Amino acid sequence: MRKYRAFTLVELLVVIGIIAVLIGVLLPVLNKARQAAQRTACLSNLREICNSCRMYAGTFKDACPIGYVGGQKQFSYVMNLNGTTAPHHPIELGYIAIAGFAKNGKAWYCPSEQDILFQYDSIQNVWCFDRIPPSDHLVAMVGPDPGYDSAHTRAGYNARPIANWSSALADQVPLIDPCPDYRSNVKAFIRLAQLKNKAIMSDQVNYGPQSARVRHFKGINVLYANGSAKWVDFKQIDKPPWNTIPPGIGVDRSTSATWNPAMLDETVVPSKGIWAEMDRAN
């Protein structure tokens, strides 16, 4: 009768140790591969958004509906206002969606984002533009979504804060902020051609460095008006005053209009703020 020799405790521990070492070696490699894939997918999303912007511009006299709301340049990602005191309505980037040029809603969101406020069609960020029948967020007041009283429909990317939009339904033509490179203080959409080589969309930079590092850690993806999209290392953009924005949100913290110049100030030469740094990184 054949006798089978069992593994000793020492042998089992050695095997387990080898497996643990292999996992320790492979996991960082797999994480880097996953991050690289997400970074590439994010860059592809921005290129698709660029196509949407170009189709909108080609249809509506070169108009580019980007900007910010409520006098706060950090608030440059809104697509639909779902407030409780006024009828819901599209605004800013939402004009592209209601015109039918944002067929792929997922393209407007970074695959690395972990915050449900900036994820595609989450309970706190309903993608309301392709609902059948039409979503209450487009045509009525508060919709039926649980826990969704007044949250806005947000894009997963920031737009260049060059035009201050009113949140009122009756006034949906933005006021262009002063800039030496395009029209100033004129109530009209900015023209895409006027933006030339400027950055127009990027990974979240609205709350300072902490809002961008949670995605790709070492840099951000940026879309330029000329159609190019590229990876920009933090070393090129992580400068004051943007990197001095405090963490957290609130009236006196990172969302305050006090930090508007940290986002973009084109009244001075050279321009200042995170968007000016992205321009120079092109």
Task: Output the DSSP codes for 147-185.
Answer: T-SS--EE-SSEEP--EEE-SSTT--SPEEPP-TTS--S
Is 200 within a domain? Answer: yes
C-alpha 126/C-alpha 195 separation (Å) is 30
Question: Per residue in 146-159, pLDDT tens?
Answer: 455 557 899 999 99
Specify burial of residue 98 (Cβ count, 10 A radius: 0-12, 13-18, 19+): middle
Whether pLDDT at 105 is above 70: yes
Structural domain boundaries enclosing 101: 36-280
Q: How many residues are listed for the chain in this entry?
A: 282
Is 4 within a domain? Answer: no
Is 22 within a domain? Answer: no
Is 71 within a domain? Answer: yes
Strands (E), 92-249: 153-154, 158-159, 163-165, 175-176, 190-191, 199-202, 219-224, 229-233
Whether pLDDT at 6 is above 70: no
Average pLDDT over residues 17-28: 77
What pLDDT does residue 24 have? Answer: 75
pLDDT band at 99 (very low <50, low <70, confident <90, very high): very high
Is 124 within a domain? Answer: yes
Start-to-end Cα distance in the chain: 77
Number of domains forming the structure of the chain: 1
Is 119 within a domain? Answer: yes
pTM for the model? 0.85
Question: Per residue in 173-231, pLDDT tens?
Answer: 898 988 888 876 777 889 999 999 999 999 999 888 888 888 998 999 999 999 999 99
Is 15 within a domain? Answer: no
Question: Per residue in 58-92, pLDDT tens?
Answer: 999 999 999 999 899 999 999 998 766 667 788 99
The 8-class DSSP code of residue 272 comes to: B
Strands 78-81 and 68-69: unpaired
The rounded percent of the chain whose pLDDT value lies above 70 is: 88
What pLDDT does residue 166 have? Answer: 85
Average pLDDT value for the chain:
86
Average pLDDT over residues 246-269: 83
Is 160 within a domain? Answer: yes
Strands 163-165 and 68-69: parallel
pLDDT band at 272 (very low <50, low <70, confident <90, very high): very high
pLDDT band at 14 (very low <50, low <70, confident <90, very high): confident
Higher pLDDT: 84 or 267? It is 267
Whether pLDDT at 3 is above 80: no
C-alpha 163/C-alpha 181 separation (Å) is 14
What pLDDT does residue 29 have? Answer: 63
